[in-house]
Amino acid sequence: MHDLLDGELWQLTVNGLVRGALYAALGAGLALVIGVTNRFHFAYALTYTVAPYAAYWVMDGLGAPFWPSALAGLAVAVAVSMLLELGVYEPVARRAADRAMLAVLVTSIGVSTAGIALLQLKFGTSSLPFYGPDQVQHHPGSARISNFDVDQAATCLVLVLALTAFLAFTPIGRSIKAVRSNPGLAAVLGIGVRRVNLVCFAVAGLISGACALWYGLLYTVQPTMGDSTVIYGFVVAFLAGTRSSPLRALPVGIGLGLLEQWASNWLPLQWTQTAVFIVLTAYLAFLAVKDRLPRPRPARPVPLEKV
């Protein structure tokens, strides 16, 4: 019994590391958008979902191989993400003025719902098989992991590291950090805030599309595939901080992935998400009261005459 429990816990740990890398990458992309543009991009679920559907359409309808189809899916996700900013969020935010974030949130929920409904109208509501490279199972110890799991985790890690390097070492990355710190001053200094916003949405679309393609290969493509997964991305974005380095998303995402999987060992499956949101609620409650908590007083210096 003890060996069985150890084996199951090891499998859950492996699963948690893989899922945590996915959550970290999605959270880093969302944090970039929210922290720089102040857009509550709930339609991130739509850009996540549209990538594997576009790849599926190119493969099934045009007979293209998997990798060109995957690139087409990424391109569609990036294009949809940028079009949302240009055609929806920016005009809504401009008209809403000081209520821009709330207006964008409500609009993004509507756009996401409508977009997913259109996908259901085109492809149906059932799951679609998404085939690509051959899947190979590996057995590290008593656990089981596929090459798709490894490739997904590696891709997500590379995306977070690449985003960190992009922000630190490129001119546009430094412009993004300047806009994130003070958009008004950045505009005065000649930085194109609109261009920076578009770049942020393009990066977020690329990250969401890449994550969704691996998820589709691991499981299936379905219209609601982005709902719960992207919610975890929001949790990571808020816990890691929308104005901090993308590297902070890695431990937060992996921690949430492990918490989700370990909780399933002791809780029914439908309650595992509850455990994650309890952590988020506790963190937000701590932020609300941390300034009121008593702090230790600094030690008074000892007078020289008493030494």
The pLDDT profile of the chain, 307 residues, written as one tens digit per residue, is 444 446 688 889 999 999 999 999 999 999 999 999 999 899 999 999 999 999 999 998 888 899 999 999 999 999 999 999 999 999 999 898 888 888 998 999 999 999 999 999 988 888 888 888 888 888 887 788 999 999 999 999 999 999 999 999 999 999 999 999 988 888 888 888 999 999 999 999 999 999 999 988 888 888 888 888 888 899 899 889 888 899 999 999 999 999 888 887 776 666 666 766 777 777 767 766 776 767 666 656 655 555 5
pLDDT score, position 1: 41
Alpha-carbon dihedral sign for residues 83, 87, 89, 93: positive
Residue type, 280: L
Task: Residue 34: name the closest of 92, 104, 86 by CA.
Answer: 104
- Separation between Cα atoms, residue 154 and residue 286, nearest integer Å: 33
Please give the torsion angle defined by the CA atoms of residues 255, 30, 109 and 261, in that order, rounded to the nearest 10 degrees.
-20
pLDDT score, position 4: 42
pLDDT score, position 291: 66
Task: Residue 175: name the closest of 195, 204, 154 by CA.
Answer: 195
- Separation between Cα atoms, residue 192 and residue 190, nearest integer Å: 6
Task: Residue 234: name the closest of 108, 113, 124 by CA.
Answer: 108
Task: Residue 211: name the closest of 81, 56, 34, 51 by CA.
Answer: 51
* CA-based radius of gyration for the chain: 22
Which run of H or E residues covers position 155? helix 147-169
- Separation between Cα atoms, residue 187 and residue 92, nearest integer Å: 20
Task: Residue 37: name the closest of 203, 197, 198 by CA.
Answer: 197
Which run of H or E residues covers position 268? none
pLDDT score, position 306: 53
pLDDT score, position 5: 47
Phi and psi at 221, nearest 5°, equal: -100, 125
Residue type, 190: G
pLDDT score, position 161: 96
Please report, in angstroms and rounded to a whole number, the separation of the first and last CA atoms in the chain. 64
Q: Which two tokens stand for residue 2?
A: 């003890």
Q: Which two tokens stand for residue 18?
A: 């893989």
Phi and psi at 276, nearest 5°, equal: -65, -45
pLDDT score, position 267: 67
